[in-house]
């Protein structure tokens, strides 16, 4: 079995795809003609979005995102966190935690996307010896 995709429930799928393309340099893989589901080309594991309306229509009850109390995060890896952070903010992301070098040597920062989801921007983790 392999981990195939993660789906985030959002108000507007097209706007979210556009934001992720502009903020993080992602590439749109597809947007269903209904506008209710879309995917980003993010490698083997796909980051996708479904509208809250569709989930409600399917009998699911999507919760409300609380930006001040996140229950998960997604992360994008880059070699230049400060540059990536400025790009994300320029696209409409909100700064949550500025650039910081962690004790294990990884550089990170956090932003909030247009839906209130927590997004980490980070360098690769160096192998520990």
pTM of the model: 0.92
Q: Quickly count: other Cβ atoms within 10 Å of residue 38's Cβ.
A: 23
Is 127 part of a structural domain of the chain?
A: no
With vertex at residue 49, the alpha carbon angle to CA 45 and CA 51, rounded to the nearest 5 degrees, is 160
User: For 40-94, how does the pLDDT look when each residue is reduced to its tens digit (9 = 90+)?
Assistant: 999 888 999 999 999 999 999 998 898 889 988 999 999 999 999 999 999 999 9
CATH label of the domain that carries residue 34: 3.30.720.120
Count, residues in the chain: 129
Residue-number span of the structural domain to which 102 is assigned: 73-122
Is 62 part of a structural domain of the chain?
A: no
* Coil/strand/helix, residue 100: strand
């Amino acid at each position: 079995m392999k981990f195939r995709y993660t789906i985030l429930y959002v108000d507007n799928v097209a706007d979210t795809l556009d934001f992720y393309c502009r903020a993080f340099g992602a590439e749109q893989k597809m947007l269903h003609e209904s506008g209710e589901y879309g995917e980003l080309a993010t490698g083997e594991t796909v980051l996708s979005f479904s509208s809250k309306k569709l989930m409600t229509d399917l009998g699911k009850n999507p919760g409300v995102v609380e930006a001040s109390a996140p229950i998960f995060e997604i992360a994008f890896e880059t070699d230049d966190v400060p540059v990536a952070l400025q790009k994300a903010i320029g696209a409409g992301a909100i700064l949550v935690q500025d650039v910081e070098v962690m004790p294990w040597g990884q550089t990170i920062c956090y932003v909030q996307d247009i839906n209130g989801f927590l997004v980490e921007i980070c360098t690769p983790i160096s192998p520990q010896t």
